[in-house]
Amino acid sequence: MRDGMIESDVLVVGGGLVGLSLGIGLAQGGLDVVVVDREAPASQTLPAFDGRVSAIAHASRQALQALGIWRHLEAAEPILDIRVTDGTSPLFVHYDHREVGAEPFGHMVENRHLRLALQGAVNETPGLRLLAPAAVTVLERRPAAVHARLADGRTVRAALVVGAEGRNSPTREAAGIRTTTWSYGQAGIVCTVGHERPHQGVAQERFLPAGPFAILPMTGSRSSLVWTEREDLAAALLALPEAEFLAELGRRFGDYLGKLEVEGPRWSYPLSFLHAERYIDHRLALAGDAAHGIHPISGQGLNLGLRDVATLVEILVGQARLGLDLGDPLALAAYERWRRVDTFVLGAITDGLNRLFSNDIAPVRLVRDLGLGIVEQLPPLKRVFMRHARGDMGDLPGLLRGEPV
């Protein structure tokens, strides 16, 4: 196929967690899809590539099941309880999944496992072509179609291009879509901790003075940590010898699960907020972190991306079934309208939570204690928070209700 023209309906640039899920969903709806990623698939599933474990909300799991991705997953640990505590304060909020239904809040899934599952699903999806490693060198959005030239000389033609390259999306930048961004001056230290006693499916979110400290249940007697620290401190912590790192960790983790040990490498991710001023342009849509990067405080970044996926699949497959243009500005406007409000609200909530909790000023602490206590006292409000944690708020596209494409 050198020098050949690849004809397709949709070109997805960026084959990460969001881009590949989108490619699979669109292809299942009968569209011809090309996904381009700069990294080779085999390198993306090496143990050192991504150490994160994602909280997959209930609605996102339904989507992954409907897309045939979930059954390729090696392991997933249910989250049965969420406990939110404020530092050393005795007040805490306790979310028990039985208050909103029989299903767990979500599942903890290792990103590496999710990438493997995605690749498994890609291999059994006709109509989807993954070109990786590959790079788009020229992207022209013409009146009637998109033309992309790849570094290896091939050309891809599509009715629509989706930018899913994560936060630094070149597709977004080339389209001149501006972003609102700020850095939290914080980094998220991520590592896996083995413990003596079982976690019993409890996720802990602790608001420590430096920022949130999350203990998330993994399979076996293991938990994944997302430990927020000031950027300079995080770098220093990451460089500590094993025993001292474990001691620092233990001071924050506590001893409720017995003896701890750090398993595997430690990672550090800079934390920032990013929101694109538009999610669409002429024959272009943004999805996942390319459109919105939020603080991982509530573990919702990927969930938002999967909601973009479900919405785009519903709208674009609907267009194709009616023979309508996939780049139709009215269809793209519907996507943006459907997604923007949800994303912005969640972005604002998590940003606000982080600001409120990342300090140790006495009056703020008091408000926080009262605030958390009040949430605990008001069942309806709590149910709203819990539903959001499960990801099933509002008007849902079919995939998020578990309906196949």
Partner 1 sequence: MSAAAAPSVDPAEVERFARMAEAWWDPLGQFRPLHVLNPVRLGYIREQAIARFGLDPKARRVLDGLSLLDIGCGGGLVAEPLARLGAEVTGIDAAERNIAIARAHAAESGVAVQYRAASAEALAAEGRQFDIVLALEIVEHVADLGAFMDAACALVKPGGLIVLATLNRTPKAFALAIVGAEWVLRWLPRGTHDWRKFVRPSELARELRRSGMALSEVRGVTYSPLADRWSLSGDTAVNYMLAATKPAG
List of residues contacting partner 1 (CB under 8 A): 30, 143-144, 318, 320-325, 328-330
Runs of H (alpha helix) within 221-295: 231-238, 242-253
Distance CA(194)–CA(278), nearest Å, equals: 43
C-beta closer to ligand FAD: residue 49 or 366 = 49
User: Which of ligand FAD, partner 1, none has residue 173 at its interface (CB below 5 to 8 Å by kind)?
Assistant: none
Regarding 93 and contact with ligand FAD (CB under 6 A), the answer is no
Regarding 17 and contact with ligand FAD (CB under 6 A), the answer is yes
C-beta closer to ligand FAD: residue 159 or 218 = 218
Binding residue (CB under 6 A) for ligand FAD from 8, 9, 12, 15: 15
C-beta closer to ligand FAD: residue 51 or 397 = 51
Distance CA(248)–CA(234), nearest Å, equals: 11
Distance CA(70)–CA(34), nearest Å, equals: 22
> What's the one-letter identity of residue 68?
G
Site string for ligand FAD, 159-178 (x = CB under 6 A): -----xxx---x--------
Site string for ligand FAD, 52-71 (x = CB under 6 A): x-xx----------------
Shortest Å distance, C-beta 329 to partner 1? 5
Look up residue 390 and give its two tokens: 């499960």
User: Which of partner 1, ligand FAD, none has residue 303 at its interface (CB below 5 to 8 Å by kind)?
Assistant: ligand FAD
Determine the 3-state secondary structure of 58 from DSSP.
Answer: helix
Distance CA(402)–CA(57), nearest Å, equals: 13
C-beta closer to partner 1: residue 94 or 321 = 321
Distance CA(31)–CA(320), nearest Å, equals: 8
C-beta closer to ligand FAD: residue 13 or 161 = 13
Regarding 296 and contact with ligand FAD (CB under 6 A), the answer is yes
Backbone angles phi, psi at 206, to 5 degrees: -110, 135
Look up residue 85 and give its two tokens: 């505590």
Binding residue (CB under 6 A) for ligand FAD from 8, 11, 12, 14: 14
C-beta closer to ligand FAD: residue 262 or 324 = 262
User: Which of partner 1, ligand FAD, none has residue 166 at its interface (CB below 5 to 8 Å by kind)?
Assistant: ligand FAD
User: Which of partner 1, ligand FAD, none has residue 218 at its interface (CB below 5 to 8 Å by kind)?
Assistant: none
Distance CA(97)–CA(95), nearest Å, equals: 6
Q: In what order do the strands lie in the sheet with 33-36?
A: 128-131, 33-36, 10-13, 160-163, 284-286, 280-281
Regarding 82 and contact with ligand FAD (CB under 6 A), the answer is no
Residue numbers 315-354 binding ligand FAD by CB under 6 A: none
Regarding 302 and contact with ligand FAD (CB under 6 A), the answer is yes
Distance CA(273)–CA(304), nearest Å, equals: 14
User: Which of ligand FAD, partner 1, none has residue 301 at its interface (CB below 5 to 8 Å by kind)?
Assistant: ligand FAD
> What's the one-letter identity of residue 34?
V
Separation in Å, CA 322 to CA 116, 148, 319, 330, 405 = 34, 26, 5, 14, 15
User: Which of partner 1, ligand FAD, none has residue 322 at its interface (CB below 5 to 8 Å by kind)?
Assistant: partner 1
Distance CA(366)–CA(368), nearest Å, equals: 5
DSSP state letters, 319-382: HHHTT--TT-HHHHHHHHHHHHHHHHHHHHHHHHHHHHHS---HHHHHHHHHHHHHHHH-HHHH
Regarding 300 and contact with ligand FAD (CB under 6 A), the answer is yes
C-beta closer to ligand FAD: residue 86 or 165 = 165
Regarding 122 and contact with ligand FAD (CB under 6 A), the answer is no
Q: Do you find a cis peptide bond into 133, omega within 30 degrees of 0?
A: yes
User: Which of partner 1, ligand FAD, none has residue 143 at its interface (CB below 5 to 8 Å by kind)?
Assistant: partner 1
Chain positions contacting ligand FAD, by CB under 6 A: 13-19, 36-39, 52, 54-55, 135, 164-166, 170, 188, 190, 226, 269, 288-289, 296, 299-303, 305
